[in-house]
Copies of this chain bind each other. A is one copy, B any other.
């Protein structure tokens, strides 16, 4: 169906004059998120025509939804007048995100063309680092004062709320210090003569502007708030709010980041149109690092090459022992990483996790090593070798369980990002597996 729509739009753009009215009708009936998809799929020429005929409000919503690379192109095609109108309609957090990603030249043009007030808001927001509460918040807030009556507050909301999307009304004192929240529902349900201070909810979690966006998302989800007030650390003044749709974007972005970092992929690759050279450049360093680590663990094999020389079939079991250890540590790593993601602090429970993972490795290792013995015995008909491979698997699985939890916990404790653990963990289990299999063979088989 989307494909069909795209075809129709292309035809209408070609028709020009006659088709415009029909195009406008489609634009009005289509959600901006879908319009953004369509814009992305049009050719550069079509795109400019199509975007150019959108009303300012729809154009601004669509602009906020397209990919960063397309934003620059679309903005370049707009004249100053239209550009000013489009930015007037944009929420200030979206406007700031867009300006920050533009080339310097286009950013300067946007800032020189838009209203003074919009410019000031954007410049304020640009002072906060991008992935903090301040960097993702909007300053567009509906707020009322403590001692207004519910009736006065409703009038005030009517006045301020004309141009803002909002879900909760913030309550401040006369110095703009945050005091609490009141929902529209409570305002309407309240006795009109009651003061806000008696209606409001003071049990609201707030965040400082320098808090990491991931932590903001975690708090908002934990406390089921629809928006998160951003409040100055020292003086308690209300600066802005982070809304739940920002938080959903943050959650998606953080999950992508975590998953990609585990495999050494750049987070921009979640977008489909990243070029081949971009992928090559961003992935190559990780591959080179891993190659080095692989050569390091291969040194263990080199060290014991005389063992393989006298029992060449051991070469076959090297990847088996290392692999099953790797699988064990991957399980332990996945569980530990996920817990670290969901609960950043993870205080006193580290020791319990380490014990749990080690014991699980030990017990699964026992079960798996029985299987290993059976398989080696069937293949080689050699009891002694079966026992050696099984014992190496068992010990390496036990240690792998421990390592899979220890390395991410250790990295987090030292202040590093635990998601980069996977490569180190894998290398450790390789070294362990090779060392155990060949060391045990040297000890028990060659004598």
Chain A residues proximal to chain B, CB less than 8 Å: 3, 29, 31, 33, 154, 157-158, 161-162, 166-167, 184-185, 188-189, 203, 205, 220-224, 226, 244-245, 247-249, 251-252, 255-256, 259-260, 262-265, 269-270, 272, 276, 279-280, 283-284, 286-288, 290-291, 294-295, 297-299, 301-302, 305, 308-309, 312-313, 315-320, 322-324, 327-328, 330-331, 333-335, 337-339, 342, 347-349, 352-353, 356, 359-360, 363-364, 367-368, 371-372, 375, 379, 423, 426, 430, 434
What's the nearest-Cβ distance from chain B to residue A23, in Å? 17
Contact yes or no, B221 A252, CB < 8 A: yes
Q: A317–B161 Cα gap in the complex (Å)?
A: 68
Check A272/B339 contact, CB under 8 A, given A291-B368, A324-B294: yes
Contact yes or no, A284 B158, CB < 8 A: no
Find chain B residues with CB under 8 A from A315 CB.
Answer: 301, 305, 308, 315, 318
Q: Chain copies in the assembly?
A: 2
- Which residue in B247, B256, B316 is a CB contact (below 8 Å) of A338? B256
Find chain B residues with CB under 8 A from A320 CB.
Answer: 291, 294-295, 298
Contact yes or no, B294 A359, CB < 8 A: no
Find chain B residues with CB under 8 A from A284 CB.
Answer: 364, 367-368
Find chain B residues with CB under 8 A from A359 CB.
Answer: 276
Contact yes or no, A349 B188, CB < 8 A: no
Contact yes or no, B221 A245, CB < 8 A: yes
Find chain B residues with CB under 8 A from A247 CB.
Answer: 248
Check A360/B279 contact, CB under 8 A, given A188-B158, A290-B323, A312-B309: yes
Q: A335–B167 Cα gap in the complex (Å)?
A: 36
Find chain B residues with CB under 8 A from A162 CB.
Answer: 189
Q: Which of A222, A323, A434 has the most CB of B within 10 A?
A: A323
Contact yes or no, A287 B368, CB < 8 A: yes
Q: A337–B31 Cα gap in the complex (Å)?
A: 27
Find chain B residues with CB under 8 A from A368 CB.
Answer: 284, 287-288, 291
Please name 18 pairs of A and B residues whose Cβ atoms are closer than 8 Å in the assembled complex, sorted by A. A161-B188, A161-B189, A256-B342, A262-B334, A276-B359, A283-B331, A283-B360, A286-B327, A287-B324, A287-B331, A290-B324, A291-B372, A294-B319, A294-B323, A301-B315, A302-B313, A302-B379, A319-B434
